Amino acid sequence: MRPQMMEIRRNVPHQASVRLRAVVDGDRPLLFSLRRDSTLQSRLLTVPDATDDAALDAWIERRRSETGGAFLIIEDQASGKAAGYAQITQVHRRNATGYGGLVLAEQTRGLGLGRAALVELALHASRGLGLRKLMAEIDIDNGASVGLHLSLGYREVGLLEAHFTDANGMTRDVLLFERRLEDE
C-alpha cells in the first residue's frame, strides 16, 4: 500500500501553475476532442448540435468573439502544454456578472490544474473584464466540481430542478453558485 501512495504523490505537483492564454490554431485538436466527448459535454451541461470540423471551427469562433466574455486555453506551466479551456459567458455589463467554467482533458485532471485555473479565471474576470461576480451552474452529481468551487469561495445559492436535458433525454438537477470578486 505504501508504494502506491508514493506513486500518487510523485504524480501530483505540490502546487500546480497555469497560464490562461488566447486560443491558437494548434489548440484545435484538443478543443475538438473535448467538444466531441458527449459524456464530458453532458457533465458540462451542454449538448453540441454538431461536432464535424466546420461546426467546431464555428463554435471556437463564436466563443472567441463573444462580446464581454472570455474563451481561453488553460496551459500547464510545468509542461507548456494545453490542458483544457476556461470560459466566461453570459456577461451582463450593467450588473458586472458572468458565468465561469472550465474543462480539462482527462489526462490532466487530478493534478491541481483545475484549482489553479479557476483562481486565474476569477482574476481575469475581475481585473480583465471588470466583473464583480462569477456564477456557475454545476450538475448536482458533479461532486469534484462542487467541492472545488466551494473550496475557492463560491457559495451555493440555489437548486434548479430538472434544469438540463442531456443527450439521452434525461433531465438533470443543477446547482447554482456565485462568488463575489471585489477582493480580487
> Percent of the chain at pLDDT above 90?
84
- Would you state the pLDDT for residue 184? 63
Low-confidence ranges of the chain (pLDDT < 70): 1-14, 183-184
Which value, to the nearest 10 degrees, does the dihedral of the CA atoms of residues 57, 61, 64, 68 take? -140
8: left (phi over 0), alpha (psi -120 to 50) or beta: alpha
Residue range 11-42, pLDDT digits in tens:
444 478 999 999 999 999 999 999 999 989 98
How far out from the chain centre does Cα 2 lie? 34
Q: What is the pTM of this model?
A: 0.88
- Would you state the pLDDT for residue 13? 44
What's the CA angle centered on 100, arms 95 and 102, to 5 degrees? 170
In sequence order, what DSSP letters do the residues of 129-179 get, joined into one string? T--SEEEEEEETT-HHHHHHHHHTT-EEEEEEEEEEE-TTS-EEEEEEEEE
Residue range 36-50, pLDDT digits in tens:
999 899 888 999 999
Q: Which amino acid is at 85?
A: Y
